[in-house]
Amino acid sequence: MMMACGFAARAEVNEYDPAKVSESLKAIFQFGSTATKQALNANTVTLISGTIGGTYVQFGADLASVLDDGNKLRVLPIVGRGSVQSVADILFLQGVDLGIVRADTLDYLEKKGFAKDIKKQFTYVTKLYNEEMQIIAPKSVQSLRDLEGKTVSVDLPNGSTFVTVLTVADRLGIKANWVYVEQRIAMEKLKAGEIDAVIVVGGKPYKSVSSFGNDGRFHLVKVDYEKPLQGDYLPATLTAKDYPNLIAEGEKVDTIAVPALLAAYNWAPNTDRYRKLTQFVDAFFTKFPTFQNPPFHPKWKEVSLSAPLAGWNRFPYAQQWLDSHRIEPVARSRFDEFLKQNAASGKQPADADKEALFKQFKAWEAEQARAQVQATPKQR
């Protein structure tokens, strides 16, 4: 009997009572008031991400996991519908503070006459990572230009894949029968021969691409880094490590990429919404090194907080934070290293192509970072 009592006492000590574990949660429900409601909302930042299975959603979840402390800062990620919808949500949806958008989306909206001087309404906190163009097609399709006249799925029209695809096709003069089909359905239509290709633009490895059940008929198609693309896009490479289901071991597929960024409405400095963004920046920039280690998305390795973004204005407090912590843009020595490699391989462009050279360097730097994170588990 004494032994039984002893076991019972130890069980009582070891059992966790949620009310004791989370005193702050208990207080909210027992003593919550108007003041509690105001305090919670004052410290909550909402972030519109992307569709289920995409890189945007994973980044949103990572941000909430690290930065959300429940009291001083609450980060609330929202499942979005792609870059175009996110731009509209940041502008018009009440309560949305931040969003992950693609760098070419605002240019597309202006070119189509949907908006004017829209970049003045936005700021960016930081450039995030590069999103690669991934084209799944039968092996008879060898390059992007082979899609001329074919039926090609470019995801839903409120996303962002179609923006990049149509912009690239317009610059290269490629005309195809573009269809707007949700990716999972498009993959099945491709296997059934109802469409000729599926294009996905997202951070590699992209779930719907890596999970594609390839029976040997399909592969990833090459996209050449042609001159008309070099103003806004970057060269990139896909390998068997990214997609063993679509690329043979030891082989690679050249493609292009477009930057994704963390954007916000251009709030005036004296507003409450601006204040909330400063809270977010303080927490995000301070804890940034955490994101570049497992278990967080490998694409965090590509992020450089200080990286400039042509044509965009940085959120003022974000720039102040970087300046006060003396965090400068990419080191000159790494750029020099890239120049030497390019010169040695005969790829050095003329002086007139300096902008393209810098963009190639940024893509090279991202690949170096990615190689580092892939090598890390082997070293441990």
Q: How confident is the model at residue 333 (pLDDT cuts 50, 70, 90)?
A: very low
Average pLDDT (109-118) is: 80
pLDDT at position 136, please?
98
Which architecture characterizes domain 38-342+354-379 according to CATH? 3-Layer(aba) Sandwich (3.40)
pLDDT tens digits along 171-208:
999 999 999 999 889 999 999 999 999 999 988 888 88
- Dihedral over Cα of 327, 332, 239, 229: its sign: positive
Using the predicted structure, report yes or no on whether residue 8 has a pLDDT greater than 60: no
Q: What is the mean pLDDT of the chain?
A: 82
pLDDT at position 339, please?
59
Q: Give residue for tokens 């792609």.
A: 82
Average the pLDDT over each of 42-56, 98-112, 191-205, 346-360 and give the range with the smallest value: 346-360
Using the predicted structure, report yes or no on whether residue 352 has a pLDDT greater than 80: no
- Single-letter amino acid, residue 13: V
pLDDT at position 56, please?
86
Using the predicted structure, report yes or no on whether residue 346 has a pLDDT greater than 70: no
Nearest Cα neighbor of 252 from 210, 294, 217, 221 is: 221
Using the predicted structure, report yes or no on whether residue 61 has a pLDDT greater than 80: yes
Concatenating the DSSP letter of every residue in 27-69 gives: HHHHH--HHHHHHHHHTEEEEE--STTSHHHHHHHHHHHHH--
pLDDT tens digits along 238-284:
999 999 999 999 999 999 999 899 999 999 999 999 999 999 999 99
Contact at 8 Å (CB) between 76 and 46?
A: yes
Average the pLDDT over each of 122-126, 161-165, 346-350 and give the range with the smallest value: 346-350
* pTM (2 d.p.): 0.71
**Burial class of residue 380 (count of CB atoms within 10 Å of its CB; 0-12, 13-18, 19+):** exposed
Higher pLDDT, 63 or 51: 63
| Rounded distance between C-alpha atoms, residue 36 and residue 196, angstroms | 56
| Rounded distance between C-alpha atoms, residue 38 and residue 26, angstroms | 17
Using the predicted structure, report yes or no on whether residue 6 has a pLDDT greater than 60: no
Higher pLDDT, 284 or 375: 284
Contact at 8 Å (CB) between 122 and 90?
A: yes
pLDDT tens digits along 293-328:
999 988 898 898 998 887 889 999 999 999 999 887
Using the predicted structure, report yes or no on whether residue 38 has a pLDDT greater than 80: no
Average pLDDT (162-166) is: 92
> What residue spans of the chain are helical by DSSP H?
2-14, 18-21, 23-31, 34-42, 55-67, 83-92, 105-111, 161-172, 183-191, 207-210, 272-286, 288-291, 316-324, 332-344, 354-379
